Amino acid sequence: MSDQAKKDGAPEESVSENNGMNPGAETAKAAGEKPFEADYEAFMKLARENEELKDRALRLAAEMENLRRRTARDVHD
């Protein structure tokens, strides 16, 4: 089997293992939690990560804008 076929086959296997079910539901059942609680915790974790990434991107954009302005000022002087 070629490397490409192996790469293409891997996602299909993982999809068939989940059978369309929520992956957090299985771990929640095993831990004795309700599926909703596990989903909510996963959602909140992803929401926090999303906010951190947005903040980081905004700060990098501001830093690049400041660098552009400083460079333009230095070239002009």
pTM: predicted TM-score of the whole model, two decimal places: 0.49
Domain count of the fold of the chain: 1
Return the pLDDT at 77.
86
Q: pLDDT (tens digit, 9 = 90+) per residue, 29-72?
A: 555 667 889 999 999 999 999 999 999 999 999 999 999 999 99
User: Two tokens at 62?
Assistant: 């501001």
Domain range for 57 is 3-76
Choice between 8 and 36, residue whose per-residue pLDDT is larger: 36
Count CB atoms within 10 A of the CB of residue 38: 19
User: Two tokens at 1?
Assistant: 């089997």
Checking if the pLDDT of 3 tops 90, the result is no
Alpha-carbon gap, residue 47 to 33, rounded angstroms: 21
